[in-house]
Amino acid sequence: MRYLTGSMFVLVLLVGGVAVADSFNDGVKAFREGDYAKARKAFEQARREGRDDDRLWYNLGSTLYRLGAYREAGEAFGRIPGNSSLWQAARYNLGLVAEKLGRSAEARRHYREALAAGRENGIGRLAARQLAALGDRSPRRPWDANVQLSLGTDDNVNFAPLGIGSSRSEQFVDLYASGRYFLSGDRRRGWAIDARASLTDYTGGNTYDYNELVLGGEHYRPLGSWRGRFGLEAIKSNYGGAAYQTIGRVFGEATLPMADRRRFRVSLRYDGIRSDNAVYDYLQGSRARLGAMLYGFSPADYWRFEYRLELNDREDLPNASYSPTRNELRARYLRYLRDNWELGGRLAWRYSSYPDAAIGKRQDNRLRLNLELTKRLRKRTRLRLGYEYTDNRSNIDNVVIGGQTYGYSYTRNIFRIALDHRF
């Protein structure tokens, strides 16, 4: 898949594989060379050969638009189904077609559809810009929400407070929901309240169950060429069926738009952590995180590189420290495939250095790999298959708890299937 963007019109050139008819690939080649009449003939020939999918109709619509055949272009874009990954771009292009035909009301309708399909991506921002140019700033919805249900299996449930593997395999159910409501303005400049809730329930008992509730407020504002976001959050969590922690969080981030759909972001977060259970008082204290991220996106893919520095100051145990300094490198890549499939992966390496303690000066190296295959069932509903592999290697492997010896080194495999819906 390859994408091109003019000043406004969004073009997506989607190339078929070896099994695709030559006429379709001929059309793509001719389009790239600027021979739109030849591209039209090739795409129409592919259609006569029996091809009838969203990639053909999108490329044909793009070609017809270049030729000035706006009505026919609109008919082609209109054939893109609502569950297609090209639907948002097709709606946006239908708005441009309507403008060319002098149909302002119809253009507004199509831009609103494109905006509703993704407000913060490149096409969504183009749609918002076109609506503003038409004197229409009303369609921005003041709220958004997401809900997800996951089922999975974990072959080495992590004993979270101590950060060690339990050598115990279990199945789990995970529920997650989030929502945001803008009291005024929008993500460019405005005030919002937000809430998140998560629940992880293991089938073998509640020893490792975890749930969390987050309530907060955010402020968005421009900072010169940067876009700022600042907020406060209160976080309440339970672990193993009992009270765990209360966290007060303050955070800020600034994002700089760059050329070629790239963004650079810096962030800072501070957590004040209070223990709600005497068993976990050693984790009480503070945590600060500084981050820098470079990311980019297109109709074809999304990528991200990130660095994090984390500083901890906890009460600790008499013989062991839980106040690490952590350096982490992260990378993510997501590719949009044909037939509404997406394939993505994340890779992260984290080095943790702990202060000297009776058990020694602990040092951990953790490698984590995530793979995810996603199928878009409807415009806002997705089915996800995921795999996570963790390999944590530590120089300390002699922790004694209840007469049993544990180690900070462990490997862990998690498989999950998830269904999520965005409102």
Q: For every one of its 423 residues, what pLDDT tens digit does the chain have, with 9 covering 90 and above?
A: 333 333 356 655 555 544 445 888 898 889 989 899 999 999 999 889 888 888 899 999 999 999 999 999 999 999 988 778 888 899 999 999 999 998 888 898 898 888 877 776 778 888 888 888 887 655 567 889 999 999 999 998 876 666 676 778 899 999 999 999 999 988 888 999 999 999 999 998 888 899 999 999 999 999 999 999 999 999 999 999 999 999 999 999 999 999 888 999 999 999 999 999 999 999 999 999 999 999 998 878 899 999 999 999 999 988 889 999 999 999 999 998 888 899 999 999 999 999 998 888 999 999 999 999 999 898 789 999 999 999 999 998 876 655 666 678 989 999 999 999 998
pLDDT at 23: 87
Give whole-number Cα distances, 31 to 7, 35, 186, in Å.
Answer: 18, 6, 38
User: What DSSP designation does 186 have?
Assistant: -
Q: Hey, which CATH number is domain 143-422, 3.30.1540.10, 2.40.160.40, 2.40.50.140, 2.60.120.10? A: 2.40.160.40
Q: Are 340 and 376 a contacting pair, CB within 8 Å? A: yes
pLDDT at 347: 98
CATH 1.25.40.10 placement within the chain: 2-133
Q: Are 386 and 415 a contacting pair, CB within 8 Å? A: yes
Question: Please, which residues bridge with residue 220 across strands?
Answer: 190, 229
Residue 64, SS3? helix
DSSP string, 343-392: EEEEEEEEEEE----TT---EEEEEEEEEEEEEEEETTEEEEEEEEEEEE
Q: Are 95 and 79 a contacting pair, CB within 8 Å? A: no
Nearest to 129 by CA among 114, 117, 143: 114
Residues 332-337: contacts with CB under 8 Å, at least 24 apart = 332/302, 332/303, 332/304, 332/306, 333/301, 333/302, 333/303, 333/304, 334/301, 334/302, 334/303, 335/300, 335/301, 336/1, 336/85, 336/299, 336/300, 336/301
Place of tokens 């190339």: 15
Question: Please, which residues bridge with residue 405 across strands?
Answer: 400
CB proximity list for 182: less than 8 A, separation 6 or greater: 142, 143, 190, 191, 192
Q: How far apart are CA 205 and CA 302, in angstroms?
A: 39
User: What DSSP designation does 397 have?
Assistant: -
Residue 24, SS3? helix
User: What DSSP designation does 84 have?
Assistant: S
The CATH code belonging to domain 2-133 is 1.25.40.10
Nearest to 408 by CA among 369, 368, 364, 367: 364
CATH 2.40.160.40 placement within the chain: 143-422
